[in-house]
Structure 1
Amino acid sequence: MASDRTHPGPAPFLQVVRGELSHEEIAALVAVLTARARAVQAARARAAAPAAPSGWRDRARLLGVPPRPGPHSWRRSFHPG
Structure 2
Amino acid sequence: MTAEDKPFLQVVRGDPSPEEVAALVAVLTARARAAAAARDGAGEARPSRWADRTRLVRATVSGGLAPRGPGAWRASGLPR
The alignment's TM-score, normalised by the length of structure 1, stands at 0.46
Q: Which structure carries more helix by proportion?
A: 1
**More contact order relative to length (CA 8 Å, sep ≥ 6):** 1
